[in-house]
Amino acid sequence: MKRPAVGRAIRLIVTVAIIVLLVMFARTVNWTRAWEAIISASPWLLLAAIAANLLSLVFRAIRWWVLLRAVGEVSLVRALAATVAGAGLNNVLVAQGGEAARVVFITRSSGIPAARVIATAALDRLFDPIGFLVLLGWGTLAFELPPDLARFRTPAIVILVVVAVLLVWLALSARTATPEHVPERRAAPRGWKSRVRVWLVEFGGSMRELATGPRIVAVVLLTLGAWVAQLATFALAADAAHVHMPLPGHLAALLATNVSLIIRATPGNVGFFQFAYALVAGEFGVRKADAIAVSVLIQALQILPVTLLGVALAPDFIFRRRKKEAPEPV
């Protein structure tokens, strides 16, 4: 059997095993009580949770805009619209297709070279796991988290130190970065190997230009703001369903459900998200049915508004022509 076939077989076996596990888990849930908790949720607190979730997306959009400004002229409104459209498409496309879409959106509408936009998107996405590790390290030091999360304290701190060293190196390298601004040199290479090599050089140069000290500090602060807004989303959704947990419980649930996103066994990770949330919430005395109700509300307010906004904005970017350069005066 060839390697691709073996990989697909293993993936299928893992997926089936997870689905069977979820079915067995679903049979233990009091769905009547879960439904009652959902329909009795406070609409005002749900609206506040939606606002907190959208605020998290705004923080991420501003973070990307800070990086985009270093490679070209992009307005904050355009970066925000592209971020929302990409996030919405991520909910309906496979393999994080929205990430590629937001790069295409900016490239087409601004005329900035694709390699430079991809460099900003790559660096932008790097900071989400950094924020996760900061929360994990802080949470395991400041609170009594479930053992399954507490065991990651040392690895998280070690990885954070390594990442910090890497970012400092990039910031120092940015001082001596020499960006390529000669169009003739970019047009000269012939053949796909030469074009790939030039693209990689441009990508690497862009990464070094982006990672200045002040810019990294701003991006880290915006990343933490996005994660805090997500923590507020979880807390408000639980309060809306009249399920009360301490702050460590909400933090543990946020961390656990984001770990579960690594395994996308179902569309939108529906089911596995609820499983991870319920396991953690149970450690803080929350009944399984109530935990399921809260997790369903969280996913609904995270997915539905953003998907509607993203799909509404997507056509405007998809059909927008590439920005044309102004004609030179005669």
Domain membership of residue 198 (yes or no) is yes
Digitized pLDDT (tens) for each residue of the chain, 330 residues in all: 455 565 566 656 655 655 555 555 455 555 566 667 678 889 999 999 999 999 999 999 999 999 998 888 888 998 998 898 888 877 766 556 677 888 888 888 778 888 788 888 888 888 888 888 888 888 888 888 888 777 877 887 888 888 778 777 766 765 555 554 444 444 445 555 555 565 555 555 555 667 677 888 899 999 999 999 999 999 999 999 999 899 999 999 999 888 755 555 555 566 678 888 988 998 898 988 888 889 888 988 888 888 888 777 766 555 554 444 444 444
pLDDT at 221: 93
Domain membership of residue 126 (yes or no) is yes
Domain membership of residue 311 (yes or no) is yes
CB 256 within 8 A of CB 277: yes
For residue 287, what are the CA distances in angstroms to 38, 142, 213, 237, 252? Answer: 14, 25, 46, 16, 16
Query: Phi/psi of residue 123, each to 5°?
Result: -65, -40
Domain membership of residue 21 (yes or no) is no
**CB atoms < 10 A from the CB of 216, how many?**
21
pLDDT at 138: 87
- Report the domain count for the chain: 1
pLDDT at 185: 44
Full-model pTM: 0.76
pLDDT at 182: 42
**Residue-number span of the structural domain to which 243 is assigned:** 31-318
CB 136 within 8 A of CB 153: yes
CB 130 within 8 A of CB 223: yes
Domain membership of residue 2 (yes or no) is no
SS3 143: coil
What is the spatial distance between Cα 159 and Cα 154, in angstroms, rounded to a whole number? 9
Domain membership of residue 81 (yes or no) is yes
Domain membership of residue 173 (yes or no) is yes
Which is it for the CA torsion 70, 75, 77, 83, positive or negative?
Answer: negative
pLDDT at 226: 95
**CB atoms < 10 A from the CB of 287, how many?**
17
Domain membership of residue 264 (yes or no) is yes
pLDDT at 38: 77
pLDDT at 326: 43
